[in-house]
Amino acid sequence: MRASVTNVLGSRRRIGGRLTAFNSLRVRLARRIAPAAWQNGALVDLTVAREGLARRYIAGAGIEFGALHFPLAIPPGVTVKYADFKPAADLQQSNPDVKDIKAPDIITDVESMAGIADASQDFVIANHVLEHVEDPLRALKSISRVLRAAGIAYLALPDKRFTFDKHRRITSLEHVIKDHRDGPDWSLAEHYDEWSRCVDGLSGSPHAQKVALMLEQRSNIHFHVWDYPAMLDLFSYVAKQADFGVDVEVSMLNGIEVVWILRKRG
């Protein structure tokens, strides 16, 4: 597991340098966080804070989206179903080096939550998922839609300062709003261009070829990049909009990530 941390998170201990070609494994693994990560020369156990918040806020029956090999440890007596946008066999094929993938009970995407009834869940967990979503506000509205009154959205987002995204521009709130209002296609090529330059380290012809390939495949990357202040802007906006119907209950810095607890208004 420690080796996967160095390969995925792009920290000081990472081996091998930059990506130089499209690699579906690492692109898929980019959305996942290992149980511990190197930050500022220290090994930070991400599970301690996560599990403490779960004991405090997770109860009843709900869904975890995108758990892959690192589902949240939930308290006793809690019922959880797992959701992802691909069946287990496809997830395993995309991630051959990852063991113990949590097989999804529900195949759907987090933006639509299609097939999940309104007000049917006590909680929705989505750790290191929102940055992979082309329209994060649509995803947050869908999460709110399926939550019961007083239900909990448990979200962890990577802070760009501590990941391979550190050289990328922060996604502004205005950008996220435009993605939601106009659809995300307008910014797709821009995201791939920046990823190819800042994460893969490409330029010239290899850069152009990579961007073209990503557009053709509509590759899954970190479309959106936030640090903690930018996340504050995002969730403050969401809490002020009546159509989301959620309040921010907790935000907690946790190593390379920030954990957010949102509560559905009654």
Please choose, from the candidates 152, 135, 133, the residue with its C-alpha nearest in 3D space to the C-alpha of residue 143. Answer: 152
What is the dihedral angle through the alpha carbons of 1, 125, 140, 128, rounded to the nearest 10 degrees? -10
Distance between CA atoms of 128 and 155, rounded to whole angstroms?
A: 8
User: pLDDT tens for residues 66-118?
Assistant: 998 899 999 999 999 999 988 888 888 777 777 888 889 999 999 999 999 99
Q: List domains and CATH numbers for the chain.
A: 46-160+225-264 (3.40.50.150)
What one-letter code names the amino acid at 138?
R
What token pair was written down for 7? 């390969």
Distance between CA atoms of 177 and 238, rounded to whole angstroms?
A: 10
Distance between CA atoms of 118 and 228, rounded to whole angstroms?
A: 30
Quick one: pLDDT at residue 45? 83
Please give the C-alpha separations between residue 80 and each of 26, 46, 154, 189, 239, in angstroms, as whole numbers. Answer: 27, 20, 13, 36, 26
Distance between CA atoms of 135 and 223, rounded to whole angstroms?
A: 9
Quick one: pLDDT at residue 222? 96
Please give the C-alpha separations between residue 191 and each of 143, 170, 213, 214, in angstroms, as whole numbers. Answer: 24, 11, 13, 10
Please give the C-alpha separations between residue 143 and each of 5, 24, 113, 126, in angstroms, as whole numbers. Answer: 28, 27, 7, 10
Contact 160, 169 (CB under 8 A): no
216, with CB counted inside 10 A (0-12, 13-18, 19+), is exposed
Beta strands in 165-256 (DSSP E): 246-254
Quick one: pLDDT at residue 265? 96
Residues in the chain, pLDDT under 50: 1-32
Quick one: pLDDT at residue 31? 41
Contact 173, 237 (CB under 8 A): yes
pTM metric for this prediction = 0.85
What one-letter code names the amino acid at 254?
N
